[in-house]
A and B are shown apart, each in its own frame.
Chain A
Amino acid sequence: MANLEVELVARDRTVWSGDATQVSAPAAEGEVGILVGHQPLLAVLKPGTVRIFGLDRSVLEAKVDAGFISVDDDQVTVVVDSAEVLGGSRR
């Protein structure tokens, strides 16, 4: 199965990048979850938590400020003003 290529970028650096199975982000009108094959999306984010579900069943949580997310051909780019990784956990 194809994976999502995820990039989490803050203003001054790339916070995280790699492959994942699922991404969830706090869009302006409610949480969005993105799986492989999602249609192209450009959404505004409000402050909240971005979760990136890795291939090895790990979950990376990052607290983010406002920003936006773009999904295009299984490439997910989360662009935020600032991000703070809260650490990974297992699911």
Chain B
Amino acid sequence: MAGQQRVYRQRIRSTQSLKKIFRAMELIAASRIGKARERVSAAGPYARAITRAVSAVATHSGVDHALTTERPDAKRAAVLVLGADRGMAGAYTASVLREAERLTERLAEEGREAVLYVVGRRAVSYFTFRGRELAGSWTGESDAPSADLAADVSQNLLDAFLRPEDEGGVGELHIVYTQFVNMVTQTPQVLRMLPLEVVEGEVADTHEALPLYEYEPSPDQVLDALLPRYVQSRILSCLLQAAASELAARQRAMHTATDNAEDLIRSYTRLANQARQAEITQEISEIVSGADALAAS
């Protein structure tokens, strides 16, 4: 009987230490998310400036560039999957991976083979465990991606895109990432990055006509310099959004875990008290019946 009480006490203790871990993870995620959101907005000016410049070139000289040319006959398409380095973020990585698998299937139906580029240790291990070949993988900074990481990723992808088909080039680039809507909502998204579709809509809402620029050295060369940077800035913004989403998902998951731990502790305490009470009652009835037996004899 005393054994049962001890088991409950043990469970309470272990749940308590788990709860402390969950609480700590929650606080860490909460403190980092502010910084992650700041970085999303800090990258804004660069992205805006580049988008504006690209639209300006596109409206004036018409875009005719290797990065904007459709390649419908391509047999391969690159898929960049942005997952998390660590778990403890609820369904964050799982939902990104589900979206990636759906995209892979869709590409397969269209007769295209998906070439995987993966960011984040959890996502990498998901694919390597299933024996899928990865064309590129990056781990270690999924919750605080640097501009250098974005540069490296986009360099690899642009190289793959610009390579001829028979040397392993890809005809498309899709990005699967988690869009940060707000602290409560993060939605997995599929974005077709390449070939580029230059949308002027992002600038048009400022209601001003784009000026007639003078280009130096020439519109083509300006475009040559702009477009890779444009891709890079889009990839960085995806990485930063994914990082903010990861932290938000982790914070929420850890908050729920803490709550659940509290519930568990409460119900275990109740059971432990019950067991203790039962033990006391039993002891009393044993003593009473022993005394009765003595008195009767």
Contacts and interface: CB of A to CB of B under 8 A. Distances in A.
Interface residues on B, range: 20 to 34
Interface in A4-46: 7, 9-14, 27-29, 32, 39-44
A7 B49 contact: yes
Interface in A26-76: 27-29, 32, 39-44, 66-68, 70, 72-73
Contacts, number: 84
Given A28-B221, A79-B49, A68 B39 contact: no
Contacts of A12: 39, 42-43, 46, 146-147, 236
A42 B50 CA distance: 11
Interface in B44-62: 45-46, 49-50, 52-53, 56-57
Interface residues of A, number: 27
Given A11-B43, A11-B233, A70-B52, A44 B217 contact: yes
Contacts of A81: 147, 151, 229
A40 B216 CA distance: 11
A79 B226 CA distance: 10
Given A29-B217, A42-B222, A43-B222, A13 B42 contact: yes
B216 A77 contact: no
B49 A43 contact: no
Contacts of A68: 53, 222, 225-226, 229
Nearest to B226: A68
A42 B49 contact: no
Interface of B: 39, 42-43, 45-46, 49-50, 52-53, 56-57, 146-147, 150-151, 211-217, 221-222, 225-226, 229, 232-233, 236
